[in-house]
Amino acid sequence: MKSRNDYFSNNVGVSTLPLVMYIDMNSYFASCEQQRHPELRGKPLAVITYDSPNATVIAASIEAKRMGVTTGMRMPDARLLCPTILTSTTHPAWYRRIHVDVMGILRSYCDDVIPRSIDEAVCNFHSYRLVYKDLTEVARQIKADIAAQYDYLKCSIGIAPNTFLAKLATEMQKPDGLVVVTPENIDEKLAAMKLTDLPGIASRNERRLLLTGIRTPLEMRHSSPALLRKVFGGVVGEYWHKRLNFGEVDMYNRSENRTMSATRTLSRKQSENQQELESMLIALCTRLEQRLVKSGLFCKEVSFAIRYADGTRWDTAIKLADPVQDGMELRSYIKQRTTDFERSRNIETLLTNKTTNITVAVQGFVKDTVMQYSLFDNRMKHDIVRKVVYQIKDRFDQKNIVRKGSELFSPFVMKDAVGFGSVRDMGLNKEGGVRNKHMLEEDADPHTPRTIVIRDRVQIAPPPPEEIYDDIGASDDEFSSFSGVITHMNEQKTVASEKNLEMWLKNRK
């Protein structure tokens, strides 16, 4: 059998046939609970991790959504909007079980199914052009097959020439949608949408588009790649042009091949101060954390390099067991590695007074949309705290007003997690079995949760010495044009040369 790449891959050719199907389960966790507990059906329901009065809603049923309840809302607020709202704690193993079954249904129609999260998947039907006459008929069959197994579960299905438009089509009709986007109707569909209706366009990008005179998704689609390049500051703009003009840029995970790095060249004086060197490392990790949060990414690998005055260098790459976004966590992995090395060679420190340059780079990215159900993950608190910190920083336009107290440790109890690895682990293997059966097991006793430690607390702190935050103080624009290095597999293009980074640092002084 031919592989999917023989027919199709990101960025190769433009097919305008609507052969990509996107499936998005509606109000997934809440519907799963309603599936299992018929008494909850048709009622406003909030799924929460812990049964406490102030719990955070991690999923709302269709009925609760209609009353204005949203994910991330606190229960007291949800009750104000919807006094009759019911709650249920999570049952991750049940959600995974249904995920596996739904993926199995999709695979019975198409062998190229790519799960995007626990409740979303893309099916690439390019090699089935002659098999199915009408994909809307296949979509109806899929809905019927799901209903036959789980009668309360609904999904929105989008069909389009590429992944992005297919996903967009699932947003157009909820719940239980079925929308086809074609070259004939795309303009009409886009004309009814706002810029921020496009997944990936938030207020910041909206502002940039508006400044260029692009006011709607329709105008965006008919803008030149060159103009969009200007708006988005590079190749990302071209991707947007492709997305809206039937090119494929989202089907397979290209993020594996990208790198983000932050680098710092040190003055003689700086390198003589051990504490300053350590602070630089923190600053670089924090810089990367900021970039990761803003790009909505986690990383699975971090590397660290030190360059010395005599032209030699020391570097290391660390594979991370779980995707990481937190700067202090990145730093602790680096410190662990350098300390091990220092001990083994019996040297005092790798960051000697001959250090001229240090670089931290991260890669192996995972989108936080995939991590979305890390709402369950044992990093949940972490991630929320981090987001809040950045929101506050943005709001006050002052980077040092809030700092994370990453050093503070305080035990926190957390339940089983729908971890990131789960989608892959749950995938069916060639024999049709589940790769990691453990993922489908219920907690031995849901009332005795595992204990883990959550480290971050928001802490109002006095501003740290200015020079430490040199790099961090840069706005995103400055960063992307100077020290931001984003490379793509086939476009090993470094945005910044060291020279202009040095110049930039000099000018800032």
**Rounded to the nearest whole angstrom, what is the least distance from the CB of residue 25 to Mg ion in the complex?**
5
Could you identify the residue written with the tokens 């812990």?
50
**Rounded to the nearest whole angstrom, what is the least distance from the CB of residue 234 to Mg ion in the complex?**
31
Beta strand 113-117 pairing with 178-180: unpaired
**What tokens does 272 get?**
């003589």
Interactions with Mg ion, residue window 396-435 (CB under 5 A): none
Q: Among the candidate windows 69-77, 84-92, 114-122, 425-433, which touches Mg ion by CB under 5 A?
A: 114-122
Q: Among the candidate windows 18-26, 74-82, 172-180, 476-484, which touches Mg ion by CB under 5 A?
A: 18-26
119 in contact with Mg ion (CB under 5 A): yes
**Rounded to the nearest whole angstrom, what is the least distance from the CB of residue 24 to Mg ion in the complex?**
4
Size of the residue set binding Mg ion (CB under 5 A)? 3
Q: Which lies closer to Mg ion via its Cβ, residue 112 or residue 119?
A: 119
Q: Among the candidate windows 25-33, 251-259, 401-409, 499-507, which touches Mg ion by CB under 5 A?
A: 25-33
**Rounded to the nearest whole angstrom, what is the least distance from the CB of residue 114 to Mg ion in the complex?**
16
**Rounded to the nearest whole angstrom, what is the least distance from the CB of residue 157 to Mg ion in the complex?**
12
Q: Which lies closer to Mg ion via its Cβ, residue 24 or residue 112?
A: 24
Binding track, positions 71-110, relative to Mg ion; x by CB under 5 A: ----------------------------------------
Q: Which lies closer to Mg ion via its Cβ, residue 66 or residue 268?
A: 66
Q: Among the candidate windows 115-123, 268-276, 388-396, 420-428, which touches Mg ion by CB under 5 A?
A: 115-123
**What tokens does 402 get?**
């809030």
Alpha helices in 296-439 (DSSP H): 327-345, 380-396, 422-426
CB neighbours of residue 472 within 10 Å: 20
Binding track, positions 125-154, relative to Mg ion; x by CB under 5 A: ------------------------------
Q: Among the candidate windows 23-31, 168-176, 254-262, 273-281, which touches Mg ion by CB under 5 A?
A: 23-31
**What tokens does 121 get?**
């998947």
**What tokens does 35 get?**
């599936």
Q: Is 288 helix (H, G, I), strand (E, B) or coil?
A: helix
Question: How far apart, in whole angstroms, are the C-alpha atoms of residue 168 and residue 181?
Answer: 9
CA dihedral 76, 387, 458, 473 (to 10 degrees): -150
**Rounded to the nearest whole angstrom, what is the least distance from the CB of residue 418 to Mg ion in the complex?**
14
Question: How far apart, in whole angstroms, are the C-alpha atoms of residue 239 and residue 225?
Answer: 8
- Cα 78 to Cα 48, 86, 248, 279: the distances in Å are 12, 10, 39, 42
Return the amino acid letter for 346.
Answer: N
Q: Are 74 and 97 in contact (CB under 8 A)?
A: no
Beta strand 485-487 pairing with 410-413: unpaired
Q: Among the candidate windows 29-37, 51-59, 118-126, 481-489, which touches Mg ion by CB under 5 A?
A: 118-126
Q: Which lies closer to Mg ion via its Cβ, residue 26 or residue 162?
A: 26
**Rounded to the nearest whole angstrom, what is the least distance from the CB of residue 294 to Mg ion in the complex?**
24
Question: How far apart, in whole angstroms, are the C-alpha atoms of residue 166 and residue 185?
Answer: 13
Q: Is 460 helix (H, G, I), strand (E, B) or coil?
A: strand
- The residues binding Mg ion (CB under 5 A) are 24-25, 119
